[in-house]
């Protein structure tokens, strides 16, 4: 939330309505119609603990759309990874079906090796939560 009161009136009040029950620790609403908000986007450089221990090169992200362009993944592999993300989200009560390939990243460690999950699949991270909805 920005520190100053906004001057213009909000045209679309849906986000304030949908989040009205979410409160900050001080009891104030998480979203206020009287303020503007800034969204900060970054990318995954590794876990916070891992990043804190590094002195040189960090991890390098590549969004799934670019993996096709660079020849890292083929279309069937990309679709499989996206379906895995959608299934994981569904298992915890969320619909991620509106996410696109450029909303998801894989990560290379400083040695140039693709980071893998416990099952040996490329570890996929979500970079855009705008299109995820509670079921």
Q: Return d(Cα 133, Cα 94) in angstroms, integer.
A: 6
Q: Return d(Cα 58, Cα 45) in angstroms, integer.
A: 6
Q: Return d(Cα 94, Cα 88) in angstroms, integer.
A: 9
Tell whether the model's pLDDT for residue 44 goes beyond 80.
no
What's the distance, CA 22 to chain centroid?
20
Provide the pLDDT for residue 58. Answer: 82
For the segment 104-131, the average pLDDT, to the nearest whole number, is 90
Q: Which of 39 and 5 is assigned the larger pLDDT?
A: 5
What is the sign, positive or negative, of the torsion defined by CA atoms of 49, 95, 92, 12?
A: positive
Residue 64, φ and ψ in degrees, nearest 5:
-60, -30
Beta-carbon contacts of 102 under 8 Å, excluding residues fewer than 6 positions away, are 63, 64, 65, 66
| Average pLDDT for the chain | 88
Q: Which of 109 and 120 is assigned the larger pLDDT?
A: 120
Domain boundaries, the chain: 1-38, 42-134
User: Facing residues of 94 across strands?
Assistant: 134
The residue behind tokens 């009560």 is 93
For the segment 115-135, the average pLDDT, to the nearest whole number, is 90
């Amino acid at each position: 939330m920005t520190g100053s009161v906004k001057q213009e009136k909000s045209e679309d009040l849906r986000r304030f309505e949908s989040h009205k029950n979410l409160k900050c620790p001080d009891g104030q609403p998480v979203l206020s119609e009287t303020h503007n908000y800034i969204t900060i986007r970054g990318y995954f450089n590794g876990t916070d603990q891992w990043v804190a221990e590094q002195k040189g090169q960090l991890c390098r992200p590549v969004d799934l759309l670019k993996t096709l362009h660079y020849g890292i993944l083929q279309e069937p592999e990309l679709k499989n990874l996206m379906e895995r993300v959608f299934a994981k989200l569904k298992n915890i009560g969320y619909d991620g079906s509106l996410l696109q390939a450029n909303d998801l990243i894989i990560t290379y460690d400083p040695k140039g090796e693709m980071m893998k999950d416990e099952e040996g699949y490329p570890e996929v991270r979500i970079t855009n939560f705008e299109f995820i909805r509670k079921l």
